[in-house]
Structure formats: C-alpha cells, structure tokens
Structure 1
C-alpha cells in the first residue's frame, strides 16, 4: 500500500494535467491591453492590465504556461490564470523568445539593451545572468505603483490574481488592521514578506511596513534588502548619489522623516541598514553626525562617539582624506586662494605704480607721454613699464604670485571637473557593471589610464566576464608600468573562482606587499581586517573572496587626472577653455587664459634692465600711504613682505563672504562669531607687523637721506 498510493497519486495528477485547457489546445492572445485565454471559440479567462503599468509584450506560450511582459516585469501564468512566477528585470521588456529551447527576454534601457535567460518556472523562473536594478524609480518602484493603482474595492481580487506583489498584500494588511482583524493583518504581512524582490523594492516595503506599525516586519524586510543587494554585487565601498538612493527606496529620506518624529529607535535600525549597504551615500556624514548629536543629547555618549568614529573612517581613500564631499572643500580652498592672490597682486602692483609714477612720467615725456608712447614708440615704452622700475627681487615676487594665480584658477577648474566626474551616475550607483552602468560609463569619456582600465575590468568581473576582466587588468598594468595592488587582488579572485588556490594566494600576497593597508587582500588571506567592507563581505557574502574597489583618489585620476595633467591639457588646447563643457565653465576658462597671459607678461619683465634706481624713485607720499594700507606691498624685496602680503590677502578673502559676493560653504563661514573674531585678530596682527616694519624702513630711509645730504 505504501508504494501503490504514491503511484496512484501520480496517475491522478497526470490525468488532471491532461484535462487542463492548456493540454487541449488552448492558447493565450493579447487584444489591446487584455490578455485572453481561449480554447477555440470558448473564452476560458481574461485579464486586463491598466495603461499605467507600461507596455505589454507577448504573450509567449510555452506548454501550459504563458509568459507576458508588463513594463519591466515578466509574469508566468498557469492555464488557470494564476501567477506562477514574477521576474523583475532592469529595463522595459521588449521581446520574449523561446526558439532556442529556453525563454529569452530582451529589455530596453536608456541607450542600451540587455538579454536574459529564464530558468525553470517551477523554481520561480530565475534569471541566469546578473540583474542590476538601475537607479531609475520608474523601474525600481514599479511594484509599489502597480499596487497603489488598485482600487480598494478590488484589493481582494488583485491579491488573488497577483499573489507575488507584496505591496498589494500590505494594503490588505492595513485594511484588515483598520477593521480590527489582527489575524488577517498579520497573515497578509507574512505573505508580503514571503515574496522575492530586488532590494529597492524591499527597502520601499520596509518603509511602508514601518509607517503602518509593523517595525519587526520592517527590520526583516531591511535584512532581505541587505542580502539581495549583496547578491547582486552592491558594495559599501562604492558611493551612492542622492538620486540613486531615492530610486533604491529612499532610506535616507525615511530617516529624515523618523528624525522629525523623534523616533530614534527606528532611526538606528534604518541608519544601520545604510551603514551596512550604502555608508558612502551623498550627504551621509552630515546625517551620521546629526544622529550622533541626538544620541549625545540623550546621554548615549558612547554610541554617539561610535558613529562619529565611523564617519571619520569614511575619509580614508578620499581626496586629501577630506571625506566623501572633499572636492567641495578643495574647490572652496581654490576659490579662496584665487581671491587672495588677486588681492595680493593688485596691492603689489598698486604700490609699485605709486612709487614709479613720477619717474615714469619724466621718462616717457620725450616719447610722447605716458599713454601716447604706447602707440608711437611701443618698444621703448615697454622698457618703461611699471614693473621695469621694480627691482629684480620685486619682479620675481610678482611672477611668483602670478604663477600661484594660474595654479589656483587651474585647481578651481580641476576641482569642478573632478567633482562632477566623481558625482557621475555611473560611479555613484552602488555597484559597477550591468547594462545601465556600462552605458553610462561609456558617456564619461574617462582618461586612458590604469585607473580607468581597473574600473572597466572590475565591471566586467562583476558581470561574470572573466576573460574581458583579465584583459583590462593586463592593460591597467601595462599603462601603469608596474603592478597594481588592486589589480593583483582581483586577478587572485579570478584564480580562486576557477579553483587555482595557490595562484590566488600568491596574488593576494603580492598585492599586500605593495599596499600593506589593502583590506581586500588581507581579508582574502584570512587576516580579518576590521573594515565596513570586509564585515559586509563576511556577513552577506560568506565564503566568497573580496574584490578590491577603486577609492575616490583612483576614480579622480580616471576622471580627470592630476592637476598637472589638467594644466597640460589646457595649455595644449587653450581655446577649448572658452567652451562650456561638463565640469567646465567658459568664464572660469577665460579667467585661466587671462591668468596665463598675465604670467607671461610679468615673466617677460624679468628680462628688462631696471629703469631707475631707488635713489631716483625715492618714497613718494602716496607710496607711503599705500605701504601702510596694503601690508607687505612695499616689502617685496624681503621674504617677510611676501608673507605679510599673502596673509593680508588670505584674511580679506576669508572675510569676503560677509559681503555676499562670494561664499565658501564647505570650507568656512565667517558669519560665525568665533571664525570672524579669529580672522579679525589675524588681520590686526598683520597690520601691526606691517606698521612696525614700515616704521623701521622709514627710520632707515631718513638716516640714509641725512647722511647723503651731509656728504654733499
């Protein structure tokens, strides 16, 4: 009996399948937006899809199953109209095909196309290739929008037709809760948590569960989101922009809502998710510090200091270790230095002009006058420019200031270009590879450098194309003229995945020898370094070797190179500076050209013999007044003169935001009392030192004058 009973059940099951409409020649057809399942002239069932769900593709009939593309989803329906599986794809479905013996799906994104192979529908029709959800709310929020579009009166019917959409189940749970049916509400929540979804949908579901009063279920949804993100190749080492995070469920926005409601316990749970998966999201450090301050206000100083320390660890690998938003600080510093140098140059030229004015007028009178001589006798007039009356030391100081101005304006241009490149969507989506990122990377026009080759190799490796990855890594080492630690680590990962353990460990050791602080190689050798990335790897990708991801410095080199590279490029194509381009302002380009022209003109004066001696120039009254008002401008012969002049210019530049004409939002705020008082104290000190130096110079000049008169 124990053997015949199962055989009888199998026989009855086979007979039942044979009597299904799909086995009797029934087929699915699409008429407009209505899917009809017909057995000859007899309609067995039909289902209409709202226009807001997107274009419909198919249907594709395979046996007694029907595949239908709806927006970015593929639904697999049984012959009795029940949904057997739902496949979430990263683009709008454009075609379904089974001619090769397997079901192939083509999706269309913004400028790219991807093709995927679906597996056994009995197992949920898993996609055989890597699926990377793009940071596009139209794609990642499709399930929630589909559920929100269902009228409340049709919730029960929609839940029966599509049991795979957890947002419909959550709406049913909320409705049951308002009706006092706690058991039905909890049952619907359990159904919602039993779904399979990409992590952006899990995050969005978690926020709705949290706001609906199911915090434990929200925590479970966040854990599902962590695991799904890890499985899809997302990593905490890769930055995430605010736009991308919004498309991935907007967890930071929900944290802001919780903070406004003073629900710190729930804030901790959500920040823990961000800390695990997207710690380097745009605006993250400010949000972490805000949370730390709230914890400290509640007497939880230990937790607050832990979050502050975690925020400090995010500075490693960034530009000058300034943090994820360091390019903004570098840009503000370049602006401040530019203004300071402009003030210093203007002050020094004003003082030199005041001293040479009388003598220059006497010398140019025979040539036709100070201004007419510019046209009548240009060469002779060039020997009598203002700087021609300055000493060689003074001219050299002016040339140094002009050279600094070129570097400062070039640095300003460089930070604009680099900052925009680092904020590019392809580099701030939380992962590399996938159709969307690959298409956006090609738009960046990265420099042909070892860092760009590393990025391309990593993208290919994450997508499972090891042959392309190896080729790119070899190219990176060729361009870099040497071995790169990150490349060696990733080559070791490829060797480990093909079973060559000795080769992989040799690569890890070589990488660690080049960079002893490389956490990925140390993790792969079993040294267990305590970093957020390795902790994430150990918990959510156990047993898998860790890849090395390029840090912000490497990405900056791939985007724009060093400042010297930018200046060389600008000098090679100076007219290109006048064009508006991504990360480049035409006005700033014109300023850089002007600074270059000024440098050349001032440097030319180094070749001109001095037109008059100090004895002839003397110290006019206007020159003395400017020497008092413009600290250091009359002391350029000595080293302290340049120091005083730069300190004066930098202090005034730092105070300039008080005028409202310029600002350094990420560097300093002189409107703060402490900052303003400190700057004013420095300015008073500069004037005091300059006055003392001026008095000593005047005393020496008076003694010299008296001695010369006595000798006469």
Structure 2
C-alpha cells in the first residue's frame, strides 16, 4: 500500500515537472539582452529585469553580446560588462570606437575602428572587473580620452545620484555626487564618495583630468594620489620620458601644462610643485616645456629660492642632449632662421657684386652688341653670340670664382632652409609625439611618414613592435639594423625577457662600448646613471630592462636624412624637390633649383675668355661711386674684397630685424638693442676700412700714372 502511494506521488511530481518544463525552457530562452534604439533592456520573458539608456553624445553602440550571465555592450570607445541583475561588472577602456563584439573563439574579442586601420583586443573579466589583455595605446583624441568626463557632464544635476548608482565606475559622476553632498553639509559622505572615486580603475588621461578636478575641489592629497596613479598607468602602457609629447597630445591627456599655468598665475606654488613634478617625471620633453620651466624658475627666484631655480634651469638645459647640435627642442627653428639669415646675406653680396659688374660693363657691352641688333634684341636674333657679351664676360677669373662661391653658398643655405622646414614638419608628426611608440593609431601615422631605410628607421619600427609585445618581429628588425648601439640594447632586453641573462649582458656591453653616452645599456648593466629616464624606469618599471629610444638627431635622420639628401635631390632629382609634402614650399623649391642652375652656369662661365675693358670703362665715376657705397664690390679681385663684401652683407642682414621688414624669431640675439648698436658701429668701421683701401688704391693708381708719364717723357 505504501509502495503504491509512493508510486502515485512520484507520478504526480513527474507530471508536474513535464508540464512546467516548456515554460521553464521558454523563460530561460527569453532572458536575453535586447538593444532597442539607444536603450539596452534585459528581459525575462515578459518581465523587464533592468534597462539602461545611453545618450547619443556617448557614441555608437555595439552589441549586446551575452556570454554566460554577463552582458557586454560597446558604448563609444568603452565596453561595459553587466551582470544578469544589471550591476556594472566592469569597464574596458579602448583606443577607438567599438565596431564589433565577438565570442566565437571562446573569449570575448572586441574590434575598434580608426582612420584606415582597425585593432582587435581580448577582454577578460573577473571579480575585480574588466580588463584588456593587450597593450592599449590611446591616440591624442579628446573624444576617446575625455569620454568619461563628457559622459559625467552630460548628466543633469538632479540625475547625478542615480547615474552614479548605475555606473559606479565613472569617478567624475562620483566627484559630482561628492560635491552635492558637501554642499548639503555632509562632509563625511562627501569624503567617502571621493575615496570611492579613487578606488576606480582608470587610464592615465582620466586620472589626470580627475586630479585637476580634485585639486580644484579642495582635495590636494587625493589629487596627488590620482597623479601618482596616472604615472603608474602611463608607465604600464609604455609611455616614457624620452619620447616627446606635443601640445595637442598633452591637451588630450588631461592638459596638465595648462593647469600648471593656472596654478602659477594664482601663485599656488605648493600645488604647482606637484604638477610640474608630474610633468618632469613623465613628460619632461613636452612642447613648450622650456618656457614653462623658465617661468617656474623665475617665480622661485623671485621668492628667494635661487638654488631651486637654478636646479630647474639646469634640468631644462640637460634636456638639450641628443637634440640637433644640442640646441634643444627648437633647434630646427634655429637652423632654419640661421639658413634664412645666411641666404639674405649671400643675396645682398651677390646683388652688390652683380650691380657693380653690370655698371662696369654697360658701355662696352652696348658698343659690342650694336652689330648683333642691340642690347636686348640681340638675345632674339643671335642668342649664342649675345651670350658672349654678358656682364660676367667682362669680369676677371677671380671675380667669376667669387660669384660662383657665393652662388654655391646660396644653394647650401636655401637647401638648409628647405631641409629645416621638412625635418621640422616631419618631427612634429603626431605619431612621433604621443609619449610612446606603437599602437594602431601611431602605427598608421608612422607608415605615412615614408621613413628612410636605415638603422634609425629600424629602431623606430622595432620599438613599436617590441612595445606592442611582438618580440619576434622586433628581433628581426633590430638584427637588420646592427651594429646600431640602440638596436643592440633592445635586443638585450628581448634576451633578458626570454631568460637569457648572459646574452643580454653581452649585448648591453656591446651597446655601451659602441656608444658610451647611451644611458639605457648603462642602466641595464647596473651602473645607475642619475638621469630622469633611468629614475623613471627604476621607480615605475622596477625589474624591467631599460629600452633605448631614438633621440632627435636619430629621428631627423629617419624622417628626412641630413642636408646632403636635400641637396642631392635638388641636383639629381629636381622634380622631387617640387613634390608637395608637409614643410615643403614650392617657391623655396623653385628658388633652390634656380640658384643651382645659376651656380652651374657661373662655374661654366669661368671657361670663357675675358672681354677686355678700357681703363676709362673700368674706372668710370659711377663704378667708383658704387665701390664706395657697396663695400668690397670694387675689390673683388682680392680675397680681402670678398671678405669685406660678405662682412658688409652679414651686418646689413643682422640689422634687418631693426627695420621690421625681415625677422628671425629663433635668433633673438639679433633683435637685442645692445647688439644692434654694436652692429651699427661695425658697419661704420666697414665703410671706413673700405674707403681707406679704395683711397690707397687711388693713390697707387695716380702714382703709377705719373711714373708712366715721366717714363714716356
């Protein structure tokens, strides 16, 4: 009887389960995330479990993707992971807008899009949150680096508390909430909310933005902690003090230099010290750094802290090492203005010399071209015969040689001007000024630079691969660049990462032997050089080998080559000199080609025999007057005449900024009042010396005439 009763009960349970099974299966199948427009809904059958709305300002949405009980959604350059209950499990910060989410390979893969390139990343989630397995390099794009701040600012004041509850991973929402609680008089709750904001996981640009707002809100200790976390996150992403940072990149990364300027203007030196310390450690070579360092040193000196001021000036000077001629970050501008100055001086010299030669040959040339049809028509009727009567045909061999030298100098100066423009434009490329190398955005920009083959270019591309984690490709590139010392050091870092300490030390020694000035192999060998880059390595990347980064001279060789490359292009491939590219001026290119042609013709003219002039033609009153007015132009047969002509033209060029017609911004010394006064004195001395020499020549000529007259009698 008991057995029958039990069997009946088992049958009833079975029937109940079988009756409910279709409903249970339908409910499980219906518990899925659904994206409708810009609203993500998580529905359990007909029941709405939770939902999130995403304003259009946050960017495009991708997904959703459900893996297990976790829902992934791409929102602009972020991927959020939600639990089945709607709680934010974590957030992944990516370098571009998310275009797709995929879990077909057993792991969550996310694709981000860029301008002509795409990147793929692997996401991993745990109780601590969501992380990206690969290295993420952020482009200097405010739409990416300031996304969290913009998302928080888009929330109306009355919705801050709800938004902070929905997304506790956004510290800017929490900071706004802390401000509300502080205004309400609950300082303890405000401080607790600030601590929660500091407990979030952020990329370094967001940490810098948060630090500035914490500083403004009156939480200096929290701001210092945020800056420290920014340094550590940046170090983990491969940013390095040896790589320059442009003003645009620094602005996208939180704009610490602008905030530092605000603090200095407010004379808040205690807080300014923390921010300039951040820049000194992570971005010492930021654009505009020397001026900001000088400003900070001046403020310190005005407060009687001369020792600290001098230490900052010395630090700023130390950053010139490795730059072009050790002139600093603006060395190319100095070279450009020096080339412009030299070109102006040579043009003045050439103009003065040619004017004197034309005036001296004018009368004889007119008489000689009458049978050919006249001074100007003869060029159309008998051009070959007319070319024999050009003004330089009446000049001596030494005068033509001087003109050839002046034209050759003008070719070099114009080439230097063009080279400085090209190199400066290439070095300002965003791909070379984001504080690191590698990543999809920088890789695409590096490919557009058309790097010149050689060890310097190989070092750049090898570094990008090594920082991105592709050691095998980096080893291949470095091996092709041997025996470059930087490549040797970085090969040693790869060997050390593989556990081959003996080979690593051998490669470090070889690198230091080839270039004793390199700090990276010295650091790796334990010599501990006291420089900003090695201090940064020791503090924020302990136990890791120091990589060797290209200095400005190496980068210049990689992007444009040296001056000889520009001059060789002008001589062997003139069309390439006129090809449009950043930094290249068509007018300057035409001037370079025209001057090179004139230089070649002038050199050829030295083969022509000289056409004689009568003494009266050679010593016409106008010629003698011009010789007084244009120092050195009447003495071109003598080397001293050429030197006097160049000195006169150089002084006039240096006085040009006084007139305001021509300026040399990178040569501020030329604009100083003391130098201008001294140059006026030098110009007067040149005229006096020229007059004395000409008078001496006139006296000598007069005596020779008298001696000949006496000899004839």
Is the structural similarity TM-score above 0.5? yes
C-alpha distance in structure 2 between counterparts of 1:250 and 1:382, whole Å: 64
Give, in angstroms, the shift of residue 282 of structure 1.
Answer: 0.9
Equivalent residue, structure 2, for 1:491: 491
Do the aligned residues in 2 keep the contact of 1:97 with 1:103 (CA within 8 Å)?
A: yes
1:363-512 paired onto structure 2 within 5 Å: 363-477=368-482, 483-512=483-512
C-alpha distance in structure 2 between counterparts of 1:249 and 1:374, whole Å: 67
C-alpha distance in structure 2 between counterparts of 1:414 and 1:174, whole Å: 54
Give, in angstroms, the shift of residue 351 of structure 1.
Answer: 1.5
Deviation string, structure 1 residues 498-551 (Cα, Å, up to 9, x no partner): 000010000000001110010001000000111111111111101100000011
Do the aligned residues in 1 keep the contact of 2:356 with 2:626 (CA within 8 Å)?
A: yes
Equivalent residue, structure 2, for 1:102: 107
1:627-642 paired onto structure 2 within 5 Å: 627-642=627-642
Distance 1:685 1:91, change over 3 A: same
Give, in angstroms, the shift of residue 648 of structure 1.
Answer: 1.5
Do the aligned residues in 2 keep the contact of 1:22 with 1:64 (CA within 8 Å)?
A: no
How does the TM-score come out when normalised to structure 1?
0.94
C-alpha distance in structure 2 between counterparts of 1:629 and 1:428, whole Å: 51
Distance 1:162 1:306, change over 3 A: same
Equivalent residue, structure 1, for 2:326: 321
Give, in angstroms, the shift of residue 97 of structure 1.
Answer: 1.1
Equivalent residue, structure 1, for 2:163: 158
C-alpha distance in structure 1 between counterparts of 2:27 and 2:33, whole Å: 9
Equivalent residue, structure 1, for 2:13: none
Equivalent residue, structure 1, for 2:548: 548
Do residues 341 (structure 1) and 346 (structure 2) align? yes
Do the aligned residues in 1 keep the contact of 2:571 with 2:596 (CA within 8 Å)?
A: no
Unaligned runs of 5+ in 2: 1-23
Deviation string, structure 1 residues 252-284 (Cα, Å, up to 9, x no partner): 111121122122222221111111111111111
Give, in angstroms, the shift of residue 579 of structure 1.
Answer: 4.2
Give, in angstroms, the shift of residue 623 of structure 1.
Answer: 1.3
Deviation string, structure 1 residues 156-197 (Cα, Å, up to 9, x no partner): 111111111011111112222222221122111111111111
Do residues 50 (structure 1) and 59 (structure 2) align? no
Do the aligned residues in 2 keep the contact of 1:203 with 1:221 (CA within 8 Å)?
A: yes
Equivalent residue, structure 1, for 2:40: 35
Do the aligned residues in 2 keep the contact of 1:367 with 1:376 (CA within 8 Å)?
A: yes
1:172 to 177, 180, 204: 177
C-alpha distance in structure 1 between counterparts of 2:608 and 2:705, whole Å: 28
Do the aligned residues in 1 keep the contact of 2:570 with 2:592 (CA within 8 Å)?
A: no
C-alpha distance in structure 2 between counterparts of 1:143 and 1:22, whole Å: 36
C-alpha distance in structure 2 between counterparts of 1:522 and 1:579, whole Å: 43
Give, in angstroms, the shift of residue 422 of structure 1.
Answer: 0.3
| Matched position secondary structure for 2:619 | coil
Do the aligned residues in 2 keep the contact of 1:144 with 1:167 (CA within 8 Å)?
A: yes
C-alpha distance in structure 1 between counterparts of 2:701 and 2:177, whole Å: 93
- Between structure 1 and structure 2, the one with the greater Rg is 2
1:99-138 paired onto structure 2 within 5 Å: 99-138=104-143
Give, in angstroms, the shift of residue 100 of structure 1.
Answer: 1.0
Equivalent residue, structure 1, for 2:76: 71
Do residues 655 (structure 1) and 655 (structure 2) align? yes
How does the TM-score come out when normalised to structure 2?
0.94
Give, in angstroms, the shift of residue 79 of structure 1.
Answer: 1.5
C-alpha distance in structure 2 between counterparts of 1:292 and 1:23, whole Å: 68
C-alpha distance in structure 2 between counterparts of 1:263 and 1:471, whole Å: 51
Distance 1:374 1:517, change over 3 A: same
Equivalent residue, structure 1, for 2:279: 274
Distance 1:551 1:473, change over 3 A: same
Distance 1:566 1:427, change over 3 A: same
Do the aligned residues in 2 keep the contact of 1:422 with 1:556 (CA within 8 Å)?
A: yes
Do the aligned residues in 2 keep the contact of 1:239 with 1:278 (CA within 8 Å)?
A: yes
Equivalent residue, structure 1, for 2:14: none
C-alpha distance in structure 2 between counterparts of 1:642 and 1:192, whole Å: 73
| Matched position secondary structure for 1:66 | strand
Do the aligned residues in 2 keep the contact of 1:235 with 1:430 (CA within 8 Å)?
A: yes
Give, in angstroms, the shift of residue 662 of structure 1.
Answer: 2.6
Deviation string, structure 1 residues 616-650 (Cα, Å, up to 9, x no partner): 64322111111111111122222222222112112
Equivalent residue, structure 2, for 1:312: 317
Do residues 537 (structure 1) and 537 (structure 2) align? yes
| Matched position secondary structure for 2:51 | strand
Give, in angstroms, the shift of residue 462 of structure 1.
Answer: 0.5
Unaligned runs of 5+ in 1: 1-18, 478-482
Do the aligned residues in 2 keep the contact of 1:418 with 1:559 (CA within 8 Å)?
A: yes
Do the aligned residues in 2 keep the contact of 1:133 with 1:198 (CA within 8 Å)?
A: no
Do the aligned residues in 1 keep the contact of 2:290 with 2:316 (CA within 8 Å)?
A: yes
C-alpha distance in structure 2 between counterparts of 1:43 and 1:366, whole Å: 106
Equivalent residue, structure 1, for 2:226: 221
C-alpha distance in structure 2 between counterparts of 1:490 and 1:547, whole Å: 6
C-alpha distance in structure 2 between counterparts of 1:25 and 1:573, whole Å: 70
C-alpha distance in structure 2 between counterparts of 1:25 and 1:41, whole Å: 8
Deviation string, structure 1 residues 169-228 (Cα, Å, up to 9, x no partner): 111122222222211221111111111111111111111111111111111111111111
C-alpha distance in structure 2 between counterparts of 1:383 and 1:245, whole Å: 63
Equivalent residue, structure 1, for 2:672: 672
| Matched position secondary structure for 2:132 | coil
Do the aligned residues in 1 keep the contact of 2:397 with 2:606 (CA within 8 Å)?
A: yes
C-alpha distance in structure 1 between counterparts of 2:105 and 2:599, whole Å: 68
Give, in angstroms, the shift of residue 363 of structure 1.
Answer: 3.1
Give, in angstroms, the shift of residue 678 of structure 1.
Answer: 2.7
C-alpha distance in structure 2 between counterparts of 1:379 and 1:707, whole Å: 43
Give, in angstroms, the shift of residue 370 of structure 1.
Answer: 2.8
1:20-31 paired onto structure 2 within 5 Å: 26-31=31-36
Do residues 145 (structure 1) and 150 (structure 2) align? yes
Give, in angstroms, the shift of residue 125 of structure 1.
Answer: 2.4
